[in-house]
């Protein structure tokens, strides 16, 4: 009964969801492209199809090494990657070009999911992290399509939420074929909310299997060479409420290191212009990457392009990971750690608690509470080349020590394809 009520509510909400999509498309026209795919009208696919679903950019990047490994292990399969956001799909296209197929994920109405499954005809559904959509999962399983949750994590707060609606959640959880959990506490929470114990495995986080393509390394080296010997720090995946704090820390840093450069990369492209405006209004000299502007004596470099954050991390000496000075929950610190550069974060990292704990255990990250602490740590690192190198190596060693989840996940998928 709850499944029926849920489906009816989603159907009733659909016109308003589409209206919101159209409204947002006024400023972001790409949102209106292929909007029919959100109703399940995707191109027909043949052969053995592995449907990989990621929400947005972060999950898409996390899925990339898995997709490469699956294609290497079984070149005959067709990878269909879906995302909920235009930025997620843009990231996937930038990474894979015409090697795989793409579509927007269908909205979770019974009709949209049915049309999608009829056209895509997947042999397996791989969901990155914890995107639990009732109709997507139940209809896939009713067609004997195995459903895997990969790199799965579940916070205690989310687990309690599912327990409150266990009569709806439990049948969905029983439809999941395999959960590859990041840590034992995630696995325990999935068992609590209805996933059968034999279906849950602790594989670790695939994000530790950082994969930096040669093309990204080469682009990073070119940019690094153009920066000469300037001290460079990057603030990746920043959110509203953080930019002013980061600029304040950079202002203090310039007092001691006048040739320092801050590369700031907002998480969402709709914020590019507003962040640029904030930078110039605060009196900083600015260069924008999207315009190909020369860095010269610019104090701030705005990374206002899509899919280049990994490369920008590699061109920097120190990295701050955004979404952590506000109550956002943080972003993936393993991307800069994989380059062997020092990693700094704010205190709000609940979205990556397991990863951050492992970094903390080996002193592979420094947590700062605000502007003054951020400035002080940056200044210390730029004053001390030995400590800066050691800090980066500690972060990289955490990555290397925890690699291997990707092989376990790919083995589990290949066995079931």
Q: What is the pLDDT of residues 257-273, one digit of tens each?
A: 999 999 999 998 889 99
Q: What is the pLDDT of residues 294-350, one digit of tens each?
A: 888 899 999 999 889 999 999 999 999 999 999 999 999 999 999 999 999 999 998
Is residue 54 within 8 A of residue 123, CB to CB? The reply is no
Residue environment code for 322-345, b if the CB has 16+ CB neighbours within 10 A, otherwise e = bbbbbebebbbbbbbbbbbbbbbb
Residue 153 CB burial class (10 angstroms; 0-12, 13-18, ≥19): buried
Q: What is the pLDDT of residues 87-133, one digit of tens each?
A: 889 889 988 999 999 999 999 999 999 999 999 999 999 999 888 89
pLDDT at 417 exceeding the cut of 80: no
For the chain, give the mean pLDDT: 92
Instruction: Please say whether the dihedral angle defined by the alpha carbons of residues 381, 385, 387 and 392, taken in this order, is positive or negative.
Output: positive
| Predicted local distance difference test score (pLDDT) of residue 217 | 95
pLDDT at 28 exceeding the cut of 80: no
| Predicted local distance difference test score (pLDDT) of residue 165 | 86
Q: Which residues pair with 321 in a beta bridge?
A: 236, 345
Percent of the chain with pLDDT over 70: 100
Q: Which residues are catalytic?
A: 59
Q: What is the pLDDT of residues 211-251, one digit of tens each?
A: 898 999 999 999 999 998 899 999 999 999 999 999 999 99
What DSSP state is assigned to residue 136? H
| Predicted local distance difference test score (pLDDT) of residue 143 | 94
| Predicted local distance difference test score (pLDDT) of residue 5 | 86
Q: What is the pLDDT of residues 352-404, one digit of tens each?
A: 888 999 999 999 999 999 999 999 999 999 999 999 999 999 999 999 999 98
Spatial separation of the C-alpha atoms in residues 287 and 302, rounded to whole Å: 6
| Predicted local distance difference test score (pLDDT) of residue 2 | 73
Spatial separation of the C-alpha atoms in residues 260 and 266, rounded to whole Å: 19
Answer yes or no: pTM beyond 0.85: no
What DSSP state is assigned to residue 120? H
The encoded tokens of residue 203 equal 């594989």
| Rounded average pLDDT over 174-203 | 92
Task: Report how far apart, in Å, the C-alpha atoms of 194 and of each of 54, 291, 301, 370 are.
Answer: 23, 51, 48, 40
């Amino acid at each position: 009964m709850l499944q029926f009520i849920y489906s009816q509510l989603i159907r009733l909400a659909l016109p308003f969801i589409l209206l919101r999509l159209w409204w947002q498309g006024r400023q972001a026209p790409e949102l209106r492209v292929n909007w029919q795919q959100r109703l399940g009208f995707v191109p027909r696919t043949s052969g053995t199809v592995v449907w990989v679903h990621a929400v947005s950019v972060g999950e898409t990047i996390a899925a990339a090494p898995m997709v490469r490994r699956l294609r290497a292990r079984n070149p005959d399969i067709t990878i269909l990657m879906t995302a909920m956001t235009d930025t997620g799909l843009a990231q996937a296209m930038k990474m894979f070009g015409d090697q795989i197929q793409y579509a927007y994920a269908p909205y979770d109405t019974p009709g949209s999911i049915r049309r999608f499954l009829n056209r895509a005809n997947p042999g397996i559904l791989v969901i990155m992290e914890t995107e639990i959509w009732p109709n997507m999962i139940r209809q896939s399983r009713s067609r004997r399509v195995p459903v895997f949750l990969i790199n799965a994590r579940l916070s205690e707060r989310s687990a309690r939420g599912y327990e409150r609606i266990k009569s709806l959640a439990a049948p969905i959880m029983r439809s999941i074929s395999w959960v590859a959990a990041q840590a034992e506490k995630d696995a325990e929470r999935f068992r609590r909310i209805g996933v059968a114990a034999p279906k849950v495995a602790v594989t670790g986080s695939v994000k530790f299997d950082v994969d930096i393509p040669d093309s990204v390394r080469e682009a990073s080296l070119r940019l690094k060479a153009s920066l000469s010997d300037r001290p460079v720090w990057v603030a990746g995946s920043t959110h509203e409420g953080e930019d002013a704090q980061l600029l304040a820390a950079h202002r203090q840093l310039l007092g001691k290191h006048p040739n320092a450069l801050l590369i700031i990369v907002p998480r969402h492209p709709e914020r590019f212009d507003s962040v640029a405006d904030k930078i110039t209004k605060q009196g900083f000299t600015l260069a924008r990457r999207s315009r190909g502007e020369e860095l010269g004596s610019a104090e701030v470099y705005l990374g206002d392009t899509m899919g280049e954050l990994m490369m920008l991390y590699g061109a920097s000496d120190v990295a701050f990971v955004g979404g952590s000075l506000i109550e956002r929950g943080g972003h993936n610190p393993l991307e800069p750690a994989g380059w062997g550069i020092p990693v700094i974060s704010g205190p709000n990292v609940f979205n990556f608690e397991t990863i951050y704990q492992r970094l903390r255990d080996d002193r592979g990250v420094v947590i700062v509470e605000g502007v003054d602490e951020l400035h002080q740590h940056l200044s210390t690192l730029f004053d001390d080349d030995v400590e800066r190198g050691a800090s980066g190596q500690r972060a990289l060693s955490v990555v290397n020590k925890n690699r291997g989840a990707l092989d376990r996940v790919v083995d589990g998928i290949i066995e079931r394809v």
